[in-house]
Amino acid sequence: MQEHQPGSFYCYVPKSPGPIAGLLLSRTKSEKLVHSKLDAVLNSWEDDVPVSSYSESVSSLSRPGSLPQGSLPPPSLGSLPQTQSYVYKNAGLTVKVGLEEVAADLFRVKPYVYSAPDHSAVIVFSGCLHNLSELARRRSKRSARSSAASPHFAADPNNAFASSLERKSSIERSMDLGAMTASTVLGLYLDGQQEGNELIMLSELQGEFAFVIYDNKHKQPFAARDPSGEECLFYHVGDDGAVSFASSRLEIPDGEQPHEWRELPPGHYISGKVPKLHQFALTPQQLVMREMQQEDELDSSSGSGSLRAAEGAAARRRSLALGSADELQMLAAQLQTRTSLDNDSMGKQRALDDVFTLDL
């Protein structure tokens, strides 16, 4: 009988060197930097395994089988969690594959890794999408129309899942769904890159997720967390400009200061060679507060000013089940003081209330 075995991941992206520095910094030296970081991570994890070379990583990501090209090779079901590392020239990723029980005898394999067939980008994805079938079908049609212009997914892998999803094993089916989800999200990101706006992808995703994409072409990360906050994601921007991501505080390597790490807020994403934090969606709490504000404005504009209107507004506030007034004020204070990044030469501080003004 399978048991719940949590999965995890750690991603490290050194600061991308400039054109001249990039010529002076050999690929071997850059890989050694990434290797040393991943070694530190593996040494802090219970199941230490050697880090494979760049060529071995790429070949393992392209290993043929029932899963689409570029997906993480399926772990043996009796040996989960399984740790694997992948090294690009300017980034490294370590993943411990685990099982999450979502219902009786129904498991989800997470996280999942997928690399574009041309190795232009790689994604580590944790969570699930409720509109996966719709997104995959749309991507398949789009790829069929523009395969010549889009080399990333010219042979769209999602078509390979039609028969494999009929397997009786929930774990095998979960691995296929994980590969399908990761490949779809990465494909949407690359499509957005071609269209000049990768943020369109975030507006299309419906579900609970946290993921990190390393864009090998532009040498920069792209990480996001859905508004519900069901899946965790932490990040750290070093003084040298390097950025690291971890699926939990437990995955922070020994020797690093946990208090220097920050939780990526729900409904936010990080991107850019100089990583910056942005909000792309309101959290459920922010939506409720906005609804309360709109209702108050509606009551005020009615001009009634009656005691009944005031009592109605108060009743609606109580019915929103946000907790006590102290909790509401605490939430408002968090929104006003939480900033995008520490002001450590990585950019000017930008409080969230500058983006979403909430008058309470």
Residue 154, domain member (yes or no)? yes
Q: Note whether 238 and 96 are same-domain residues.
A: yes
Segment 48-56 mean pLDDT: 43
Residue 76, domain member (yes or no)? yes
Q: Note whether 17 and 52 are same-domain residues.
A: yes
Q: Note whether 142 and 104 are same-domain residues.
A: yes
* Of 11, 109, 98, 96, the residue nearest 49 (C-alpha): 96
Would you say 184 and 136 are in contact if contact means Cβ atoms under 8 Å apart?
yes
Q: Note whether 168 and 275 are same-domain residues.
A: yes
* Of 127, 123, 44, the residue nearest 86 (C-alpha): 123
Would you say 349 and 343 are in contact if contact means Cβ atoms under 8 Å apart?
yes
Would you say 123 and 182 are in contact if contact means Cβ atoms under 8 Å apart?
yes
Residue 130, domain member (yes or no)? yes
Of the residues 279, 312, 328, the one at which a domain ends = 279
* Predicted confidence (pLDDT) per residue in 167-219, tens digit: 445 555 556 788 889 999 999 999 988 887 878 899 999 999 999 999 998 99
Of the residues 251, 279, 307, the one at which a domain ends = 279
Element of type H or E holding 202? helix 200-204
Report the domain count for the chain.
Answer: 2
3-state helix, strand, coil in the chain (%, to 5): 40, 20, 40
Q: Note whether 107 and 238 are same-domain residues.
A: yes
Segment 9-22 mean pLDDT: 76
* Of 82, 115, 75, the residue nearest 6 (C-alpha): 82
Residue 213, domain member (yes or no)? yes
pLDDT at 321 (0 to 100): 43
**Is the overall model pTM greater than 0.85, yes or no?**
no
pLDDT at 41 (0 to 100): 83
* Predicted confidence (pLDDT) per residue in 310-319, tens digit: 555 555 555 4
Q: Note whether 99 and 208 are same-domain residues.
A: yes
Segment 94-106 mean pLDDT: 77
Q: How far apart are CA 201 and CA 185, in angstroms?
A: 8
Q: How far apart are CA 274 and CA 16, in angstroms?
A: 9
Would you say 132 and 177 are in contact if contact means Cβ atoms under 8 Å apart?
yes
Q: Note whether 39 and 73 are same-domain residues.
A: yes
Q: Note whether 268 and 319 are same-domain residues.
A: no
Residue 359, domain member (yes or no)? no
Q: Note whether 249 and 290 are same-domain residues.
A: no
Judged against a pLDDT cut of 90, whether residue 87 lies above it is answered with no
Of the residues 230, 258, 279, the one at which a domain ends = 279
Segment 211-238 mean pLDDT: 94
Q: Which domain holds residue 343?
A: 284-354
Q: Note whether 169 and 289 are same-domain residues.
A: no
Would you say 314 and 268 are in contact if contact means Cβ atoms under 8 Å apart?
no
Q: How far apart are CA 178 and CA 198, in angstroms?
A: 21
Token pair 């899963």: residue: 67
* Predicted confidence (pLDDT) per residue in 245-273, tens digit: 999 988 888 778 888 999 999 999 999 98
Token pair 């792209």: residue: 222
Q: How far apart are CA 319 and CA 16, in angstroms?
A: 50
Residue 360, domain member (yes or no)? no
108-133: string of b/e by CB count within 10 Å (b at 16+)?
bbbbbbbbbbebbbbbbbbbbbeebe
* Of 184, 175, 183, 173, the residue nearest 138 (C-alpha): 184
Q: Note whether 93 and 209 are same-domain residues.
A: yes
User: How far from the centroid of its chain's Cα atoms is residue 196's Cα?
Assistant: 20
30-39, 121-130, 148-157, 223-232: which has the minimum mean pLDDT? 148-157
pLDDT at 162 (0 to 100): 38
Residue 2, domain member (yes or no)? no
> In angstroms, what CA-CA distances link 311 with 210, 296, 327?
41, 11, 21
Segment 77-84 mean pLDDT: 59
Percent of the chain with pLDDT over 90: 24
Q: What is the CATH number of the domain that holds 98?
A: 3.60.20.10
pLDDT at 322 (0 to 100): 44
Residue 3, domain member (yes or no)? no
96-100, 132-136, 355-359: which has the minimum mean pLDDT? 355-359
Which residues lie below 8 Å from residue 147, measured CB to CB, with a gap of 6+?
154, 155, 156
Q: Note whether 230 and 141 are same-domain residues.
A: yes
